Structure 1
Amino acid sequence: MSTPNAVPVSLAEIARIAGVGRAAVSNWRRRHDSFPSRIGGTDVSPQFSLSDVEQWLRDTGKLTDAGGREFLWPRFEALGSRDESGLAIAETARRMRAPRTRHPAPGLSPAATDLVGAAARRGRSDGARETFEFLLQRWLDTHVRQLSTTPPQLASLMARIALDAGRPKVRDGLTVLDPACGTGHLVAAAAQEYDGPGLALLGCERDPALAALAGARLGFTAEERDMRTEVVNGDALRDDPFAGVRADIALCNPPFNERDWGYEELATDQRWAHGLPPRTEPELAWVQHLLAHLEPGGTAVVLLPPAVASRKAGRRIRGSLLRTGTLRAVVALPPGCAQPHSVSLQLWVLQSVGTTAPAGHQDALLVDATTLAKPGGPDWEALTGFVLSSLSQLDRPDPELRTDRTVRVPLLDLLDDEVDVTPGRYVATGQEPSGVELAASWTELTSSLTELSRLVQHLSQLGFEADEPRTTATVGELVKAGAVTLRIGQQPADRSRTLPENSIPILTVPDLMLDGRPSGRVAPDAANTVAEDGDVVVAGVVRAFKAWVHEGPPVALGPQLYALRVLPEKMDAHFLAGCLRAPANGRQAGTHASSSSRIDVRRLLVLQLPPEEQKVYAETFRRLMSFDAVLGQTERLGKELVDDVGDRLAAGGLTA
């Protein structure tokens, strides 16, 4: 039963506190009668009292630093409200920087105020900034579905683009503005990339919790360097707190697709130098807001959804931005750079100029970097190098610049009926395949057909005894017998967080439905379920049901994925995977309510065979899987050849 005022923690949180795997905590719970009793949750996801867990870990010698940072976060999470926990973390940062502060922050409950004092004392002994960054990251990870943050790698890239493109001359310093700063990722990145004197960082954020956290983050930055920082809680479009302020650099990751941005009350606003943004084009309102705050020659870099480059409603404003030379470049990023991760977002590089395009501004540089992705997400090193190298051509007199992914497009070509500035529309397309390339493709297809024929010969000779009953066991029974260990995949943390060098890829069900490759990475957290080489992985959902033996480096598993580790003397992994992935097996273990229905992995059936017979089945299962893979490869090669030969025929020059 739940205990009043007790702070609940899960098995995963206990594992994180103790620095062990979740399986170890489960073993402690089974083996030690003194382990704290469950106070809430369910049998599958039990919750325990944090104070009881702390005392038990200390009494049993399983904790060397009781009361560390890991004990802080569950207490903040127990506050319940996203806003209150965020404001409490920000107030903790303020207390750590100003230990003599006595008056409580407004809006915090007595419980939050008490927690702030305890956390500040802990942070001052463990390191104030490190404690704040730890709590902030946990807060962001917990509320990742409600927040849209700029990943550190992207924030750094945007800051470097602005600094390189603007080449600001240091007078009394450099002023950087972000009117929708969130928790301050972009302005913090600018401070990191700029090492000159007299830096001023200005931010505005309408969410009070985010504004407080951004102010706390920049407060630490200001302590480390001689700079001025100011973060205001407010709506920059409706009530601009920095009216009249001019910045050298503006960076922004504005809210996307918000219709209620102030269209009616701002209809006559003087910021709309390029035209009143339509109600459906809030992003273009943010673009013009940034431009209104730039010094002459100042640079703005803004992250936008791809539709802004082509929507019909915004073509008049896009045309004005091009004609005045304000829109200097558009960079199409690969999917996964920021939320929403499935979309290829764009960076617009803008410069404050006069009413007509200056000399050398009679074109726009369009860069298509969408191909610079890898299975674990964007290849940040390659992406950063490519984008910065491409944008270094902005002010170089090369009107004929054109590569496979970068092109300088004259205004006459852009200012048509659509005024579409999508890079993919203009970058150089691949040429028709050469005769040598076609010959290589035909050779590869022939080799694939030969392998397919060999597998057909083997598999077509298989014989089956009719109506002979076979004994089966469920996965649940195999787990009880000790032949198999079953582990359940976990929800991944925010993929935008900074990851260590030893991070590992994470595979999710959406990845399986896309191309089967992991689309993100996670830190090697003890709470993660990791499939090692030789483990059997099962997708426990009807629409993506499959089972296979994992080969290669470790990979973390997301929700609805399961890892089964066999006891070699009792079970062959390939035999187990072959039995599990049988379509009939999935049908009998599923609920069939919809395509998103789950499959009860414990109900999946496995043939009961001695180890020597399992090996014969395992080899046949392997050949069947190879047949499936080669069949798919042959289909892909055939379709590619149809397209390539069709292009060559349409181009003419047929000799035979």
Structure 2
Amino acid sequence: MPPSADPTVSVTLAEIARIAGVGRAAVSNWRRRHDSFPAPVGGTDTSPQFALSQVEEWLRRQGKLDEVGSRERLWPEFEALGDRDAMGRAIAVAGARLARLTDKEAGPDDSAGWLPGGTDLSDAQRSLVERAVGLAKKHGARDTFDFLLGRWLDTHVRQINVTPSPLAALMAEVAELSRGGEAGDVGTVLDPACGTGGLLLAAARQWAGTADVPASGAPLRLLGQDVDATQAALAAVRLLLAGRSPERESAWGVDVRAGNTLRADPHPDVRADVVLCNPPFNERDWGYEELATDARWTYGLPPRTEPELAWTQHALSRLAPGGTAVLLLPPGVASRRAGRRVRAGLLRSGVLRAVVALPPGSAPPHSVALHLWVLRAPAEGGTDAGAGVLLVDAADVQQEPSGGTQRAGRAAIDWPLLHRRVVSAVQELRTIQTTQTGQAPQTAQTTPAAPAGNADGDRPADHAVVPVIDLLDEEVDLTPARHVPKKATSANLGLRRSWNRFGTLLHELRDLTATLSALELSGEEPAGQGTVTVGDLLRAGALTMRAGQQPADGVVRTGDAPDDAVRVLTVADVLAGGRSSGWLTAPDASAGENAGGLTLTAPGEVVVVGAHRAFGAWVETDAPTVLGSQLYALRADPALLDPWFLAGCLRAPANARQAGTHASTSSRIDVRRLQVLRLPLDEQRRYGEAFRRLTAFERSLREAGTIGGKLVDGLTDGIAAGRLPGNRP
């Protein structure tokens, strides 16, 4: 029998479901059906907490729990440690022990003495380490560590900056293309702000193959450092486990240290072939005063307000001659006035090779369109000015809406397309540098034709190789969008797509117009028809209504979302056009619903907005959706009410006027007072079909207006640029 859980550890209904391997609804049913189910020991009525030891004992008596250890049962005990660093340190030490399971039995705790920050643990932490090692014998060392690390990152997602794996892979490939050498030439990769090691892991996959493919030649050296000792320890273990297997000791060497990179670099003598880095943003206390005379500031003293330029020069100082660095930086670094002198120094020396504008959502902070800076250290014997600076504007590379709309909360980045565009632009720069024989730097105003079979959307991003002299003006602004004009071919392609979609919408509108205009509305209301309020329908059982609720702080996430993410819809989102800015993981959404703290819609339900300024009603076709406050989900009895008929009646402007409270400037709608026609079910369906067509007409009309505005703007730009046929000298 596995060790008993700590009696002080508590779990939620969602965690009980994961432990038992069932859905959240099943746990709620057990709680209602079995009087012997453990009583809550804390939490609230809507989100109760239960003692893990009591839950395990109950599940075991019911035959719903394996006697063999479970990772899901272990994680709540890690969470019970409370402190982020205490949890992370225990996971790191467990991982260091697990690394030895790939080739032999785990050794004593001092086998992890190489970890950054040491291995001093409390008794509770040591107990969890032992249990994790025991579980790994069933689940595997790497899988067990990855599980614990993933849960730790999810728990502290707002405190830890993680580079998404697609972006990390792109940065590694851009570094390889910018070097111009062979993959085997890379012997050392450094990340001076490595966090949990995502960029170094991408480097390992780029230059040493995956963990399942042995590296050829000398092992790659992965060097990292981070001011956060816990993250440094986790990175070290993560990289070590990823490179080990029973067949070999390691596919690459790992040396990750804890330390303040700018103030006291743990790797002062390293000269790496490649530096990959996602440095901390807007770090004001980076050591401006004490580092004013530092030898690393070859290209100018970084201003106090420009810590990113300090990281840029640090990366250059740690490169071997001809080495390449790729950094992820906020867009302001390219244009802020305070940093123009350093930017000019980087340009004059020829070390700045490219600036790539990424689309918003590529990495935290997700609301900002971050930049990639590509730098190359001078080769031995002098400067290497190259062919100019490649500026790539890929900020618009996002997933195309499907059917004119894009599901809110879903991943907005089309990573394969972004990868193709950026890589194609970097490859073109490499070609220019290779073939150039003394000519002046040239602007790349055209791009290679897409290979046969590629969609038009596979064309390279708009980019240009801009001569350094053109950038050395008063501002030294390196923002790609300021220097890369939209190409005529790109503009024409966009216009052609817009015209095609606009034509389709006009065709839909013509069909709907013919149908709707044929409806003859009578001049008088039919006698004896009457209405009934939503309140009356609720009391009669023809309807059920659930009010939306504000999710708990820290639960809603933004940016890239997995395919099974559940969007969160608020009144503000409705006012903004219906696109949600937040989402929940599927487990969090289900757990919140089962606990009574969230309202999730189901297909066919009618959603009503109770705020006067955003009043509306529609049939839910994109379920599930988490509803925020002032939104309501109405579920109709299909034997009594047609949902399209119900939604059409409820959304009538006259209904909102008579049901509004008008108590303040933020008037609300009393949903119970909204009125619905009294009609037989067959007649409701006839009315519902008319409402459905009216909704489609409204949607097409709005999209046509949006696309029409884009067409006007695009044509205005093209005509103003003198691109009308026959207008050439």
Question: TM (normalized to structure 2)?
Answer: 0.77
Distance, in Å, in 2 between the alignment partners of 1:585 and 1:616 is 23
Match of 1:27 in 2: 29
Q: Give the aligned residue type for 1:164.
A: L
Does residue 621 of structure 2 align to residue 551 of structure 1? yes
Distance, in Å, in 1 between the alignment partners of 2:669 and 2:123 is 46
Tell me, yes or no, if the aligned pair for 2:608 and 2:633 is still in contact at 8 Å.
yes
Does residue 477 of structure 2 align to residue 420 of structure 1? yes
Per the TM alignment, residue 133 of structure 1 is displaced from its structure 2 partner at its CA by 0.6
Distance, in Å, in 2 between the alignment partners of 1:392 and 1:211 is 34
Match of 2:239 in 1: 218
2:342 to 309, 312, 317: 317
Q: How does 1:186-225 map to 2 (within 5 A)?
A: 186-195=199-208, 196=215, 197-224=218-245, 225=250
Match of 1:110 in 2: 123
Match of 1:101 in 2: 108
Cα 1:516–1:606, aligned 2, differ >3 Å: closer, same or farther? same
Distance, in Å, in 1 between the alignment partners of 2:558 and 2:502 is 44
Higher mean Cα deviation, 627-636 or 116-125?
Answer: 627-636
Q: How does 1:126-525 map to 2 (within 5 A)?
A: 126-167=139-180, 174-195=187-208, 196=215, 197-224=218-245, 225-353=250-378, 358=383, 361-374=386-399, 375=406, 376-397=411-432, 399-403=442-446, 405-431=462-488, 450=510, 454=514, 457=517, 461=521, 464=525, 470-474=531-535, 477=538, 491=555, 503-509=563-569, 516-517=578-579, 525=587
Higher mean Cα deviation, 559-568 or 302-311?
Answer: 559-568
Q: C-alpha deviations, 1:137-176, integer Å up to 9, x for none?
A: 1111111111111111111111122223224568896111
Tell me, yes or no, if the aligned pair for 1:507 and 1:557 is still in contact at 8 Å.
yes
SS of structure 2 residue aligned to 1:297: strand
Cα 1:42–1:479, aligned 2, differ >3 Å: closer, same or farther? farther
SS of structure 1 residue aligned to 2:282: coil
Distance, in Å, in 1 between the alignment partners of 2:701 and 2:185 is 67
Q: C-alpha deviations, 1:339-380, integer Å up to 9, x for none?
A: 011211111111001699856614111112222211532111
Distance, in Å, in 1 between the alignment partners of 2:145 and 2:658 is 49
Distance, in Å, in 2 between the alignment partners of 1:182 and 1:421 is 28
Tell me, yes or no, if the aligned pair for 2:605 and 2:635 is still in contact at 8 Å.
yes
Distance, in Å, in 2 between the alignment partners of 1:582 and 1:80 is 51
SS of structure 1 residue aligned to 2:430: coil
Tell me, yes or no, if the aligned pair for 2:361 and 2:369 is still in contact at 8 Å.
yes
Cα 1:479–1:343, aligned 2, differ >3 Å: closer, same or farther? farther
Q: Give the aligned residue type for 1:204.
A: Q
SS of structure 2 residue aligned to 1:250: strand
Distance, in Å, in 2 between the alignment partners of 1:538 and 1:316 is 56
Tell me, yes or no, if the aligned pair for 1:274 and 1:320 is still in contact at 8 Å.
yes
Per the TM alignment, residue 60 of structure 1 is displaced from its structure 2 partner at its CA by 2.4
Q: C-alpha deviations, 1:467-503, integer Å up to 9, x for none?
A: 9974334599589878678998974568669x6xxx3
Cα 1:389–1:282, aligned 2, differ >3 Å: closer, same or farther? same
1:11 to 13, 25, 28: 13
Per the TM alignment, residue 429 of structure 1 is displaced from its structure 2 partner at its CA by 1.4
Tell me, yes or no, if the aligned pair for 1:576 and 1:606 is still in contact at 8 Å.
no
Cα 1:109–1:541, aligned 2, differ >3 Å: closer, same or farther? farther
Q: C-alpha deviations, 1:447-483, integer Å up to 9, x for none?
A: 5775685577468837657999743345995898786
Q: Give the aligned residue type for 2:155.
A: T
Per the TM alignment, residue 642 of structure 1 is displaced from its structure 2 partner at its CA by 3.9
Higher mean Cα deviation, 521-530 or 375-384?
Answer: 521-530
Distance, in Å, in 2 between the alignment partners of 1:36 and 1:396 is 69
Per the TM alignment, residue 193 of structure 1 is displaced from its structure 2 partner at its CA by 1.8
Distance, in Å, in 1 between the alignment partners of 2:146 and 2:6 is 30
Distance, in Å, in 1 between the alignment partners of 2:537 and 2:256 is 56
Q: C-alpha deviations, 1:211-264, integer Å up to 9, x for none?
A: 221122123135342432111111100111111211111010001111111111
Match of 1:62 in 2: 64
Tell me, yes or no, if the aligned pair for 2:612 and 2:660 is still in contact at 8 Å.
no
Tell me, yes or no, if the aligned pair for 1:156 and 1:190 is still in contact at 8 Å.
yes
Distance, in Å, in 1 between the alignment partners of 2:382 and 2:515 is 65
Distance, in Å, in 2 between the alignment partners of 1:160 and 1:627 is 47
Distance, in Å, in 2 between the alignment partners of 1:591 and 1:348 is 54
Higher mean Cα deviation, 173-182 or 454-463?
Answer: 454-463
Cα 1:350–1:535, aligned 2, differ >3 Å: closer, same or farther? farther
Q: Give the aligned residue type for 1:618.
A: G
Report the identity percentage: 47
Distance, in Å, in 2 between the alignment partners of 1:130 and 1:487 is 38
Distance, in Å, in 2 between the alignment partners of 1:89 and 1:476 is 55
Tell me, yes or no, if the aligned pair for 1:37 and 1:48 is still in contact at 8 Å.
yes
Match of 2:639 in 1: 569
Distance, in Å, in 2 between the alignment partners of 1:149 and 1:305 is 15
Distance, in Å, in 2 between the alignment partners of 1:636 and 1:570 is 38
Cα 1:635–1:384, aligned 2, differ >3 Å: closer, same or farther? closer
SS of structure 1 residue aligned to 2:124: helix
Cα 1:86–1:496, aligned 2, differ >3 Å: closer, same or farther? farther
Tell me, yes or no, if the aligned pair for 2:547 and 2:633 is still in contact at 8 Å.
yes
Q: C-alpha deviations, 1:434-453, integer Å up to 9, x for none?
A: 99999879867865775685
1:635 to 700, 705, 725: 705
Per the TM alignment, residue 190 of structure 1 is displaced from its structure 2 partner at its CA by 0.8
Per the TM alignment, residue 296 of structure 1 is displaced from its structure 2 partner at its CA by 0.4
SS of structure 1 residue aligned to 2:431: coil
Higher mean Cα deviation, 565-574 or 320-329?
Answer: 565-574
Tell me, yes or no, if the aligned pair for 1:590 and 1:598 is still in contact at 8 Å.
yes
Tell me, yes or no, if the aligned pair for 2:309 and 2:339 is still in contact at 8 Å.
yes
Distance, in Å, in 1 between the alignment partners of 2:195 and 2:662 is 42
SS of structure 1 residue aligned to 2:274: strand
Higher mean Cα deviation, 276-285 or 372-381?
Answer: 372-381
Could you say what the CA RMSD is over the residues aligned between the two structures, in angstroms?
4.2
Distance, in Å, in 2 between the alignment partners of 1:67 and 1:407 is 58
Tell me, yes or no, if the aligned pair for 2:186 and 2:220 is still in contact at 8 Å.
yes
Question: TM (normalized to structure 1)?
Answer: 0.85
Tell me, yes or no, if the aligned pair for 2:167 and 2:362 is still in contact at 8 Å.
yes
Tell me, yes or no, if the aligned pair for 1:16 and 1:526 is still in contact at 8 Å.
no
Per the TM alignment, residue 266 of structure 1 is displaced from its structure 2 partner at its CA by 0.6
Alignment gaps of 5+ in structure 1:
none
Higher mean Cα deviation, 185-194 or 376-385?
Answer: 376-385
Cα 1:272–1:436, aligned 2, differ >3 Å: closer, same or farther? closer
Cα 1:571–1:453, aligned 2, differ >3 Å: closer, same or farther? closer
Tell me, yes or no, if the aligned pair for 2:273 and 2:323 is still in contact at 8 Å.
yes
Q: C-alpha deviations, 1:633-652, integer Å up to 9, x for none?
A: 34324434543554466456
SS of structure 2 residue aligned to 1:507: strand
Match of 2:211 in 1: none
Cα 1:637–1:250, aligned 2, differ >3 Å: closer, same or farther? closer
